[in-house]
Amino acid sequence: MDHLPSPAFRLGANNYGKAGVRLVRVERDGAEHVIRDLTVHTELSGDLAATHLTGDNAGVLPTDTQKNTVYALARDRIGPIESFAERLARHFVDRTGSIDTARIAIEERTWSRFGPHSFSRGEGGEARTAEAVYGGEHTRITAGIRDLLLLNTTDSEFQGFAVDEHTTLQPTEDRILATAVDASWRYSHAEGVDFDKAFAAAADALLGAFRDTYSRSLQQTLYAIGERVLSAVPEAAEVRLSLPNKHHYLFDLEPFGLDNPGVVFQAGDRPYGLIEGTIARADE
């Protein structure tokens, strides 16, 4: 028996797509090969009420088709992942009548070369990211980096903070500052941007700000990173940052008759502080 939608309810915002499409492309131009290692996520929305309310799938482009499209469009080239994400988004919207908006998110992992066609990659590590959202006219492009592990062994303190009856944390004038940066920057426009060059400039700026900033709080470091990235990438309108505090506690060696002159630490896992923020240009 067919289900009949009740007039007491309505369909809200909805989308569908294919998550975790694993794509490896070997670029064989010349004696030295290049590996591109991507994970692609597609998300489509539009006139999809019929499939939800009556099961009429005439407007549904199967998620398997979306997966196949990722591989097919990668056949000739990938290029910067920002551009590849935009190509995919435009393909789905411009060729599928029921779809009015496509969101494509991509993560790229890097392989290290140790020969003309030999590569290594440890598990984990940072990933370059990109997202394209296309609604038929304009494309919004966001790029970034995820899981970038950074650590300063000094030039960081944390003191002068608020104290109440539940406070046990002691102020420190010298601590290890460690984090796993998730950063994304939104481009004010997509036309004419050299995405590879912009990404390299943003990554260098991020590392430089973390290295050069004497940190009195992770919040201060976050803001310094955002300022440096926006200064280095004029096409970027804003930067969003998420910085978990990877705690390192000075281990007490006194029970063993030993001092600890800031050399032995216990790395904490959970719970951890999470500092997040957005830095935008004043005229945005």
Catalytic residue positions, numbered = 18, 63, 247
Asked if residue 32 lies in contact with residue 5, where contact means CB atoms within 8 angstroms, the answer is no
Asked if residue 210 lies in contact with residue 221, where contact means CB atoms within 8 angstroms, the answer is yes
6: Cβ contacts below 8 Å, ≥ 6 apart: none
Asked if residue 174 lies in contact with residue 157, where contact means CB atoms within 8 angstroms, the answer is yes
Residues paired with residue 99 on neighbouring β-strands, in sequence order:
46
Asked if residue 130 lies in contact with residue 81, where contact means CB atoms within 8 angstroms, the answer is yes
* CA 42 vs CA 45, 136, 141, 282: distances in Å: 10, 16, 15, 33
Amino acid at 148: L
CB atoms near residue 37 (< 10 Å): 16
Q: For the chain, give the longest Cα–Cα distance.
A: 78
Helices (H) and strands (E) in the chain, counts: 5, 12
